Amino acid sequence: MEFAGAGALLAKIEMLRARLAAEGLFDADRKRLLPMLPQVIGVVTSEQGAVIQDIKTTLARRFPRHILLWPVPVQGEGAAQKIAAAIQGFDAIAPGGPIPRPDVLIIARGGGSLEDLMAFNEEIVLRAAAACRIPLISAVGHETDTTLIDFVSDRRAPTPTAAAELAIPARAELAADLAQKGARLEGALNRAVAECRLRLQRAASLLPDLPNLLGTARQRLDDRAARLILALPNLLAARRNAFERSARALPDLPALIATRRAALVLSATQLRSALHHAIAARAAAAVRITARLTDAPLRAQLRESRARLGGLSAQLESVSYEKVLARGYALVTTRSGTPITSAKSIKPGAPLRLRFADGTADATADGGKPPSRQGSLAL
């Protein structure tokens, strides 16, 4: 069994509604706010009939606005495609072009049977409405009629007249609200001015008497000026007397300089005499030392010391390791110069340095062997 007639249409509508709801086309977060005062209102409806007239009358009564009508058939074959094309056409109008772009769209038609309203239940219309970037109001049928475009649109109006009322506010209500707010603002300003005036009066009452203050300050200034006129000559006279006393207390500079010069000459003479005596003493001491150096006992002592020094040098050379190296031995050290005195401390692969009497040579340890009776080391 299958539904027929209205039942078949309702079943089709319900399946489409469930599928689009699953896609999120009916979600509340997709709904956009309508502009408060749109400049241009686009209307998609039939150009013949009472719908467009009701919208025009309502807009003219509430707040006259510019209306763009896109006439379409609202029922019958091909109506859904033309309604979808109208929505897409309004959405494609560029801002600032020769044709003004609507700020809000109204999709409207009068009441009718379920078959008459089926154009607004078609998927092509619903997807066009969902993709439209202009806020959209649906006003299809009467209050009891419900179509799927009501779920996709941003706002639903029960009638085309109600859609016009939703799209534009009443100018009289706006004027009344503006007058009320203006009156409230004026009252608030008056209260603020009155409060400021009261605060100013209170502050003025707390201020001192300015004329009296100015008079006292002027009198004090005149007194200070008179005292300053008298004080300046007295100060100059006092400074002059102090300067004269200081000048009299100063010593006689020419006499002081002459005394210092005489003392300096005397010191220079004494210093020169002492220098001559010191030079003569040093010369005599040098002569005595020279005589002692040329003395025969001293020369004999020098020869004895030189012979003893030569013997010590020979002994030192006999115990030097360089003499040992000259006899064919080698000194084994690390590359940094640390002597190696034990074969056990050498690891295989360790870098070594062999020092001979006539130079050095680098080597690498190739593995140790137990020391033989002669104490040899294999490298």
Residue 256 has pLDDT above 60, yes or no: yes
Which pLDDT does position 190 carry in this prediction?
Answer: 92
- Per-residue pLDDT, averaged over 286-313, amounts to 75
The count of structural domains within the chain is 3
141, with CB counted inside 10 A (0-12, 13-18, 19+), is buried
Tell me: do 288 and 326 sit in the same domain: no
Residue 376 in this model has a pLDDT that exceeds 60: no
Measured CA to CA, the distance from residue 129 to residue 77 in angstroms comes to 19
Confidence at 3, pLDDT banded by 50, 70, 90:
very low
Report pLDDT digits (tens) over 128-144. 999 999 999 999 988 77
Same domain for 143 and 268: no
Do 64 and 96 belong together in one domain? Answer: yes
Question: d(Cα 128, Cα 75) in Å, to the nearest integer?
Answer: 17
What is the per-residue pLDDT across 230-252, written as a single tens digit (0 to 9) for each? Answer: 888 888 888 888 888 887 787 77
Confirm whether 371 is domain-assigned.
no
> Does residue 325 share a domain with residue 291?
no
Q: Per residue in 175-186, pLDDT tens?
A: 888 889 998 999
Domain match, 120 and 38 both: yes
- Which residues form the domain of 324? 320-341+350-358
Among the listed ranges 81-95, 178-192, 299-313, which one has the minimum average pLDDT value?
299-313
Q: What is the CATH number of the domain that holds 93?
A: 3.40.50.261
Are 49 and 110 a contacting pair, CB within 8 Å?
yes
Q: Would residue 374 count as lying in a domain?
A: no
Rounded CA separation 109/36 (Å)? 24
Please give the distance of CA 10 from its chain centroid, rounded to a whole number. 62
Please indicate, yes or no, whether residues 294 and 331 belong to a single structural domain of this protein. no
Taking the C-alpha atoms of residue 379 and residue 367, their distance in angstroms, rounded to an integer, is 7
* 354 and 268 in a common domain: no
Q: Phi/psi at 109 (nearest 5 deg)?
A: -165, 165
In contact, 377 and 344? CB cutoff 8 Å: no
Distance from C-alpha of 228 to C-alpha of 32, rounded to nearest angstrom: 83
Q: For residue 306, is it within any domain?
A: no
Rg of the Cα atoms in the chain? 62
pLDDT at 358: 81
